[in-house]
Structure formats: C-alpha cells, structure tokens
Amino acid sequence: METVARSQSATGPDAPASSDSTLVYRQSRWTRLTHWIWAISLFFMLLSGLQIFNARPQLYIGKQSGFEYNNTIFEIGAENTDAGPRGYTEIFGHRFNTTGVLGWSGPPGNETARGFPSWATIPSYYDLGTARVVHFFFAWILTTTLIVWLVASLINGHIRRDLAPRLDDLKRLPRDIVDHARLKFHHTREYNTLQKMAYGGVLFVLLPLMIISGLAMSPSMNSVLPFLNEILGGRQTARTIHFTVMLLLVGFFIIHILMILAAGPINELRSIITGWYRTDPPAHDDKTTERSA
C-alpha cells in the first residue's frame, strides 16, 4: 500500500497508445509481502474457523449459554421432517431452509448433519483438534505481522501519507461514491477516499477487533487479560463479535475482487506482485478509469 516517488515511461506490449502514460512504483516489498501473508493467513483462518464453529453452530449474546437461557441469535442445524432430514439456518428467530449448504449437506445419499459443508472447512472431515492448530498458527502469524506493519508504517509515515483521509479526500467522497457506482475510476498514484476508508477500516478496526475478540474467547488468555472478556460483554458475546467480523471481512474480500476486475486485473495484480502500477496519462484523466481495488 506504500507509494514511492519513482516513475518511468510505459513500454512493452501492455503499454497504451499514449506515450505519456507512466508506470509508478506504488507498492513496496514490505507492503506486498504483508499483503500476501495476510491473505494466506485469513484464508486458512476462515476455513479452519468454520470447522471450529461446526462444533457448536450457534451464537449467543451474553456471558452464558445453554438450554436454560434464551439468548441465541444465530443457529445452524438439522431436523427431521415428513420429507426427510433438512438443514436450516435461524437468525433472530427467523428460520430458513438451507438444506444442501448449511445444516444438512454432503454427497447425494451420504448427507450428514453439520453446520458448514465439508468443502468450506479445513480439514474437510470433522477434526476439531487439527482445526484449532491451523487456526491459531495462522492467527499468530497475522497478529505478529500486523503489529510489525503498524509500527513500521508509523515510523516511515506510510499511514499518514497514504492511508489517513485528508479534508480534501472527505470533500471528494460524494464524487467517489458516484464514480464507483458508475464503474468510472481513475488510475492514479494515490488511493481515493473510498479506498482509504475501506483499507483503514480493515487494518485499524476489523483486524484488531478480530484479534481482541479471539483472545477474549481463550480461557488461557482470560487469566492474563481478564478485562477483555468483560469489555466485550462475556465470552459468548465475544464469539458473536468474532463471527460477525469474519462476515465483514469476507464481504470486503468479495468487493475487493470485484473492484480489481472492474478497474483492470492485469494492472492491479502487477502492482501487488511487482510493485509497479500504470497510471493514466495526465492529459486524459477524465477519459480513463481509476484504480479501485
């Protein structure tokens, strides 16, 4: 995500017809490395987390849970009906038939009752121990690299220079929203306002909240940081927050990929793999599209 003040003339088969289009060195090695470390870590944490969730596919609000409490807000399960077993998902008391995906899934004739289907979990078979090992391994990788990235970005000015929205950015926010809705973008060195807000929300809100809620669920961490559990309203509430943050991160990922495809996948992937990003010709900014990945 870091911008380096360096550019060169665009050449080669991928270059546009205009001679004043440039390649700028936009992403540093450290930015590219952490991007892929986080992407890989979140992938394995998601699928192993769904396996862990399958051990008890319900979410609650509060410090307690069980048959004597009525604080369930989300549940995935299976039930027998006149038409045979079916899966269901219940959200705030509203039940939906999700047979084949959630609650009851598997190869035809070999369906089983499970929260998330086997293709969406690591391991694909039920193994809570392995799932926890995978989940915590990548969780610590994510946490460690995020802390190092945060310290380094504060020291080198990356956060202030590239991610912190300025007053001019906020003034351009309505125009950015309209341009994105029309799939009209501009390839520039700097991130636009929506990108800064989206990346900032992930890096400074969602990822820290996911880490904090994960620590609050750990019995071993409760003895070290007992206040986390109290701040988040109890272990069951922390688990619900953790799950909600996961859904928000999945939503961000989907939008992120769609914007990459809309803005030009070759240019976007080149930027995050090699660091070089092709900007619009200065004289034709109003006719070209802005990066929105």
Angle at 26 between CA 170 and CA 18, to 5 degrees: 95
pLDDT digits (tens, 9 = 90+) for 269-291: 999 999 898 888 765 444 434 44
Mean pLDDT of 186-215: 91
| DSSP-assigned letter for residue 24 | E
Top-level class of domain 7-54+126-287: mainly alpha
Nearest in space to 153 (alpha carbons), one of 20, 6, 35, 25:
35
pLDDT at 227: 85
What's the CA gap between 275 and 189, in Å, rounded?
12
17-21, 142-146, 166-170, 235-239: the lowest-pLDDT one: 17-21
For residue 144, pLDDT over 80 is answered with yes
Mean pLDDT of 85-104: 95
What's the CA gap between 108 and 269, in Å, rounded?
39
What are the residues whose beta carbons fall under 8 Å from the beta carbon of 36, sequence distance 6 or more? 272
Nearest in space to 216 (alpha carbons), one of 197, 239, 194:
239
pLDDT digits (tens, 9 = 90+) for 146-189: 999 999 889 888 888 888 999 988 898 998 889 888 888 878 88
Average pLDDT of the chain is 85
For residue 255, pLDDT over 60 is answered with yes
What is the H or E stretch that residue 9 is in?
A: strand 7-9
pLDDT at 6: 39
What's the CA gap between 59 and 49, in Å, rounded?
14
Report the helix count and the strand count for the chain, using DSSP H and E: 10, 9
- Bridge partners, residue 96, by sequence: 89
For residue 15, pLDDT over 70 is answered with no
pLDDT at 65: 55
List alpha helices for 77-127, DSSP H: none
Q: Which of 214-218, 224-228, 244-248, 282-286 has the highest mean pLDDT?
A: 244-248
User: Where exactly are the structural domains of the chain?
Assistant: 7-54+126-287, 58-120
For the chain, percent of residues with pLDDT exceeding 90: 51
Q: What is the CA radius of gyration of the chain?
A: 23
pTM for the model stands at 0.82
pLDDT at 123: 95
Higher pLDDT among residues 3 and 235, named by residue: 235
pLDDT at 135: 97
